[in-house]
Chains A and B, each alone.
Chain A
Amino acid sequence: MTKLSLVQVRKTYRAVCALHDVSFEAPAGQVTALVGPNASGKTTLMKIILGLVRADRGAILWEERPLADYGRFQRLLGYMPQIPNFPVYLTPAEVTRIVAQLRGHRLAGFEHLAESFRLAPFWHRPIGKLSLGTRQKLSAVLALGVEAQILILDEPTVGFDPAAAVVFRRLVARKKEEGATVLFVSHLVQEVESIADRVVFLEEGRVRFAGSRPELQARTGARSLEEAVLSFYDC
């Protein structure tokens, strides 16, 4: 079965250990939610998968092979950052063209997605003049518009209006049906409830739980996923 595996991943910043030998699997065709308190190591973990941060040790495997062995492994990845930050004097159309050129994709796919998010009126305006929500929609278009086998979404719906959040969830569900491995970070437990098949709970750089929703509920004895996740927060 195709899957993204993290094996004994460790990262230390000076004297602080951000990740303690983290291991878990994110299978293809499923959404894995990465949850945990602030400063639990979620962002560091995602950045290691994305190649933005080097792990001290451990491996990131895709189909049992180190991700780095895939040459330009970023071709496999789609990424939606928590804070959308694009050059303020460029337009969404120009930033999309950059990504399309780097990926060798056609623009039409991105433009079709932009229509789903009702971005057309903003498509040729400088990004600096767009609201945070509109920038977040552009970020979603760029992440979901690429032909990625692994989607990494960091707090993706922060800043979205309810309609955009619904569109986003529908598009993620479609990616999942197409067989993508979706890994997403969220503090919104209801969102985890609505979208996740699996949950990884990180605390102080350690995996406290990694498994499917039924496994999580069985372990915590909770009736809902929301209740189960919250039980880890000691509240």
Chain B
Amino acid sequence: MLTYELRNLARSRWIYGYAGVFWAASFLTFSFAEGAEQALLSLTHWNLLAVPLVSAIGAANAVYGRRRFDEFLLTQPVSRSAVFFSSAGALVLGLVSAFALPVGGLCLLAESPGGVSARMVAGGSAVAAVFVMLGTAVGLAVEDRARGLGLLLLIWIIASVVYDALLLYAIAMLEDYPIEPFLTVAVWVNPVDAVRLLLYQDLGLRFLLPVTLPEWSVWAGLAGWLGAVSLCTWLMALRKDY
């Protein structure tokens, strides 16, 4: 089933449009930025804003669009787990590839610093995977498409914009207090900020987010997020009334 899911996704135009937007954004950034490091910083900001939004909305839309086909598949002798993992797996593979291939390819062509580029692509891919699963979860849990997409927009604004603003506000207001342990946890908890911090550390821009996290803990946090959201979504798929 995964093969057919991927085939269906590979024939859809919107996934190429999505990949094209990332290719164009990366191309323009590398063309006009002053140096590879500045280009990577700009790309990081753009990717961490666009990837969660498109991944979550794209996944939820796909879940809403294929609900009746899922119903049909579940009337065949196949487990709910198999239907869930093939459709969610195809979405994760498709949306992560649509981000990672154009951005990673242009990083290679632009001969940008390998370690930072690899972390940016890997971090963006991990964030994409987490938000695809989150979009899938909302698509399964909320029957009404408009409400589901509205909820995802709210989650995206909080994770990508509001949370970061609150962190910076806390840093500015409470700089005289020993808040670094709390900030560290706060950054680690949000996958978008954790990846942002990873790249700030790589680019020597720690002052933008003055906390320190070992690299392994960022990856462990992202893996934890992906595992937890996938597990919850899978359990929802097993128990869902169609």
Interface residues of A (CB under 8 A from B): 47, 50-54, 72, 74-75, 77, 79, 81, 83, 85-90, 94, 97-99, 102-103, 126, 142, 152
Contact = CB atoms under 8 A, between A and B. Distances in A.
Given A47-B242, A52-B242, A53-B242, A94 B74 contact: no
A52 B68 contact: no
Given A52-B71, A85-B69, A98-B4, A103 B11 contact: no
Contact of A52 (B5, B9, B11, B75): B75
Interface string B66-86: 111101111111100000000
B65 to A, nearest CB: 8
Interface of B: 1, 4-5, 7-9, 11-12, 66-69, 71-78, 241-242
Task: List the 3 shortest-distance A-B pairs measured between CB atoms, nearest first.
Answer: A85-B68, A89-B11, A72-B77
A81 B12 CA distance: 25
Nearest to A54: B241
Contact of A75 (B67, B68, B77, B241): B77
Contact of B76 (A54, A74, A94, A97): A74
A89 B10 CA distance: 9
Contacts of A79: 72, 75
Contacts of B67: 85
Most chain A CB within 10 A, of B5, B12, B75, B77, is at B75
17 contacts: A51-B74, A51-B75, A52-B75, A72-B78, A74-B78, A81-B68, A83-B68, A86-B72, A87-B66, A89-B7, A89-B12, A94-B4, A97-B4, A102-B1, A102-B73, A103-B76, A126-B11
